[in-house]
Amino acid sequence: MAFNTSAFSPKEWTIGVAEETTVGTAVTSFKGIEVESISMPSINDLRVMEKRAGSTGRVLNEDDLFYLEAGAEHEFSVGGTLTDDLIPILVENAMGVAVASDVVLVDSAHAPASFLHGASTSGSHNTVCFAIDGVSSPASSYTLKGCVIESLTISANASEDGGRYKFELTAKSRSPFESTAHASSVNTIAAYTENFIFLGDFSIDKTVFAQAVVLDTLSLAIENPVAFLGNGASGVPEAYMRSVPEFKATASCGVKFDANTAGFIDSWREQSVATPKGLYIASHATWGSSTAIGGIKMDNVIFAEQPSYDEGDFMKINCVLQSIDDESDSEILSIRVT
């Protein structure tokens, strides 16, 4: 075989995401993602590479090999810049809740019902589809259907990149993964937009542990596991269940040290609960009047870890908040997405 002189840039690969209208059925039109990091999907097929009883000889041979995809859980990770176009799809799926009145909300006593594989009139709160489009030749494109985002992190740094929102996610699927790459022409990925979200969009009202703060860094982590129930045709799940064993939302914040934040360590030691604006990032003091996309609200929070000092250009306190349920009327996590 002759030496192949072709070479390609990683920038020639494009990534897209879209909601599925039927759970587990691929779509062909996607919103583009301005990607900063991506990993090849972990396929996780059952692979037997051991000597079988009764096979020829005493060395592993071709007849000993066996693989099976049915029931395999495929995983995929990607990170990039968050925009007005992407945030509804990603947040709805990560939280497992459909948008209502411009926000995605996990409320008190959160206990979502399972949903069926193949369910129609679905949406991104159930499953999403990812497209990985490579170069036109050789074929190097894949479609990942029936995906559920188990982990989504939204972050921003006031001192870097203009304070733009970034994201990282990990998604999981038990729908079949393509055995061979397809041509990039199969899917259409729209060019990503520049409808960016900035920390500066929320200059009106920002509170951490119910205290008005100067917010330097933010990293909101949403963890919402999925359980695949049953075993249908080709190993697809019969149903999906979210938030098992629990839904968890935490926020890592870096804030200016001052009289408002000096008591954070004492509050951590006492396991105090901050309410009603445990974490509040918005463009208006009243949540219902805040119009900035990307606003975040946790009603009741505790410190999940001991706050610590950060000696930078100015003295800061780093802290990790965890949202908790007051078993009454609290909003565990609310994010404005439209």
Per-residue pLDDT, 51 = 92
Residue 179 has pLDDT above 80, yes or no: no
According to DSSP, the β-strands at 315-323 and 308-311 are antiparallel
Classify burial at 201, counting beta carbons within 10 Å of its beta carbon; exposed 0-12, middle 13-18, buried 19 or more.
buried
Higher model confidence: residue 313 or residue 297? Answer: 297
Record the pTM. Answer: 0.95
CB atoms within 10 A of CB 284: 14
CB atoms within 10 A of CB 161: 13
- Cβ neighbours for 74, distance < 8 A, ≥ 6 positions apart: 41, 42, 43, 44, 144, 172, 173, 174, 175, 177
- Interatomic CA distance for residues 147 and 143, integer angstroms: 10
- Interatomic CA distance for residues 169 and 105, integer angstroms: 19
pLDDT in tens, 184-224: 778 999 998 899 999 999 977 899 999 999 999 999 999 99
Q: What's the token pair of residue 159?
A: 């001192």
Per-residue pLDDT, 328 = 87
Q: How many CA atoms lie within 13 A of 20 on its CB side?
A: 24
* Amino acid present at 208: V
Contact 275, 299 (CB under 8 A): yes
pLDDT in tens, 263-296: 999 999 999 999 999 999 999 999 999 999 999 9
Domain ranges of the chain: 10-47+63-336
- Interatomic CA distance for residues 72 and 173, integer angstroms: 8
- Interatomic CA distance for residues 133 and 16, integer angstroms: 8
